[in-house]
């Protein structure tokens, strides 16, 4: 199938395929839209079953980055890169340097960063061949803690701010005594748990691995829940912080939470799920709005900014969501659809 006929093709500006014979690198970079600025987005390495799957991923993810950057108020567009291969077996330093050369061919219209399968050290290797890399250092953090380039603390703080805005909208209250279920206690989930517990929320946590769950139980008084039960728990907020497709045809009818607000990307299996949530009176915080803390952090590290400006920018996630919720109430449209429309007004 050609790129232009692909179902995920959405007026992308530039899609490029690259093969480096010496290192075996096979990669695709897609820049979706640069009206607001260069396309920023992570580089993912994954053992794709075929090139069709890789193309689908890079087209969908790069488009998502345009919407995320626009709604976060960044002078930045959307782009993404994918590398074919198993990051544990196939990755070599030479391959990462070759990837840097590929990134450089975009002359700054694509800026790369970490994503699944790609570590900060890999981005540093790419940085030997191109200056168009990000997320390799931090000048400051939003809360004064030691900054190490990891965007997860900023992402978690943004999700926390977003959950507060959603709870305020639905219950007209703060987080004290609110029951919140977190699915996925990884880099973001554990930090989110800390913020929420500090504000008096009652936490329920589930993960396929025990480390994060044990920490949340020991340090934040969370209750451990079976992974199979977390989606349908009788709580006020369900926070998906694991993988995509968290809300789907299989679980939508068993969700009891009044609010869905978490860090995971691509939470809704389809746009009709978003409509259904609205019809069922469940408030959904659009994923790319609430989880934009990481990209906001990277943006501030790249520009002339400071910790105070970064924190203020992260707090705006709550204000943006409040605007989306109000517009959804007024129009009856799903929050995800309202967010898309507002983003398009900014970048189109």
Rounded to the nearest whole angstrom, what is the least distance from the CB of residue 185 to ligand NAD in the complex?
6
Q: Min. distance of Cβ 292 from ligand NAD in angstroms?
A: 8
Count of residues engaged in binding ligand NAD, rule: CB under 6 A: 24
134 binds ligand NAD (CB under 6 A): no
Mask for 212-231, x = binds ligand NAD (CB under 6 A): x--------------x----
Strand order in the sheet with 39-46: 14-20, 25-33, 77-84, 39-46, 110-114
Based on the shown chain and the rule CB under 6 A, indicate whether residue 82 belongs to the binding site for ligand NAD: no
Backbone angles phi, psi at 55, to 5 degrees: -65, -45
Among 13, 57, 207, 340, binds ligand NAD (CB under 6 A): 207
Do 181 and 230 form a contact (C-beta atoms < 8 A)? Answer: yes
Q: Minimum distance between the CB of residue 188 and ligand NAD, rounded to whole angstroms?
A: 4
Helices (H), 152-258: 152-171, 187-198, 210-220, 227-230
Quick one: which of 40, 55, 111, 206 contacts ligand NAD (CB under 6 A)?
A: 206
List CB contacts of 246: < 8 A, sequence separation 6 or more.
Answer: 183, 231, 240, 260, 262, 264, 267
From 26, 80, 97, 183, the catalytic residue: 80
> At a CB cut-off of 8 Å and minimum separation 6, what does 1 contact?
52
Q: Do residues 190 and 216 touch, judged by C-beta distance below 8 A?
A: yes
Site map (CB under 6 A) of ligand NAD, residues 236-275, x = contact: -----xxx-------------------xxx----------
State yes or no: residue 151 binds ligand NAD (CB under 6 A): yes
Q: Is 187 in the site for ligand NAD (CB under 6 A)?
A: yes
CB of 278 closer than 8 Å to CB of 334: yes
Q: 290 or 324: whose CB is closer to ligand NAD?
A: 290
DSSP state of 253: G
Closer by beta carbon to ligand NAD, 201 or else 289: 289
**SS3 category, 246:** coil
Rounded to whole angstroms, the Cα distance separating 45 from 200 reads 39
What's the CA dihedral at 113, 114, 119, 125 to 10 degrees? -20
Taking phi first (over 0 means left), then psi (-120 to 50 degrees means alpha), and beta for anything else, what does residue 285 get?
A: beta
CA 33 from chain centre, in angstroms, equals: 18
Q: Which residue is nearest to ligand NAD (CB)?
A: 186
Q: Does 162 bind ligand NAD (CB under 6 A)?
A: no
Residue 185 makes contact with ligand NAD by CB under 6 A = yes
Nearer to ligand NAD, 30 or 264 (CB): 264
107 is catalytic: no
**Nearest by Cα to 156 from 7, 72, 261, 253:** 261
For residues 65 and 167, which CB has a smaller minimum distance to ligand NAD in the complex? 65
Which residues within the stretch 294-313 sit at the binding site for ligand NAD (CB under 6 A)? 294
Cβ 237 to ligand NAD, closest distance in Å?
Answer: 16
Residue 215 or 346: the one with the smaller Cβ distance to ligand NAD is 215
Question: Smallest distance from the beta carbon of 135 to ligand NAD, in angstroms?
Answer: 9
Beta-sheet strand order (sheet of 179-183): 223-224, 202-206, 179-183, 237-240, 259-260, 283-284
Residues near ligand NAD, by CB under 6 A = 151-152, 155, 183-189, 206-209, 212, 227, 241-243, 263-265, 291, 294
Active-site residues: which are they? 80
């Amino acid at each position: 199938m050609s790129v232009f006929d692909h179902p995920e093709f959405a007026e992308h500006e530039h899609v490029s395929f690259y093969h480096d014979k010496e290192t075996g690198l096979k990669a695709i970079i897609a820049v979706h839209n640069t009206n607001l600025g260069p396309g920023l987005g992570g580089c993912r390495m994954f053992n794709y079953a075929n090139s069709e799957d890789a193309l689908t991923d890079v087209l969908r993810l790069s488009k998502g980055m345009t919407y995320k950057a626009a709604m976060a108020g960044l002078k930045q567009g959307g782009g993404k890169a994918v590398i074919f291969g198993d990051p544990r077996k196939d990755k070599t330093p030479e391959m990462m340097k070759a990837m840097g050369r590929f990134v450089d061919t975009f002359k700054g219209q694509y800026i790369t960063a970490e994503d699944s399968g790609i570590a900060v050290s890999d981005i540093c290797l790419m940085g030997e061949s191109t200056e168009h890399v990000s997320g390799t250092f931090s000048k400051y953090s939003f809360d004064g803690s030691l900054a190490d380039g990891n965007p997860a603390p900023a992402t978690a703080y943004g999700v926390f701010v977003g959950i507060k805005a959603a709870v305020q909208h639905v219950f007209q209250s703060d987080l004290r005594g609110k029951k919140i279920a977190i699915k996925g206690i990884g880099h973001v989930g554990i930090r989110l748990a800390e913020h929420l517990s500090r504000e008096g929320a009652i936490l329920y946590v589930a993960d396929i691995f025990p480390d994060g769950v044990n920490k949340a139980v020991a340090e934040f008084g969370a209750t451990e829940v079976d992974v199979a039960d977390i989606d349908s728990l009788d709580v006020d907020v369900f926070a998906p912080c694991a993988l995509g497709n968290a809300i789907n045809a299989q679980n939508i009818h068993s969700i009891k939470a009044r609010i869905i607000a978490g860090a995971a990307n691509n939470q809704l299996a389809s746009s009709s799920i978003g409509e259904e949530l609205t019809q069922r009176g469940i408030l959904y915080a659009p994923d790319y709005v609430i989880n934009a803390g990481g990209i906001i952090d990277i943006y501030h590290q790249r520009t002339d900014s400071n910790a105070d400006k970064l924190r203020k920018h992260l707090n705006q996630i709550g204000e943006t969501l409040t605007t989306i919720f109000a517009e959804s109430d007024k129009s009856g449209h799903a929050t995800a659809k309202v967010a898309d429309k507002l983003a398009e007004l900014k970048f189109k």
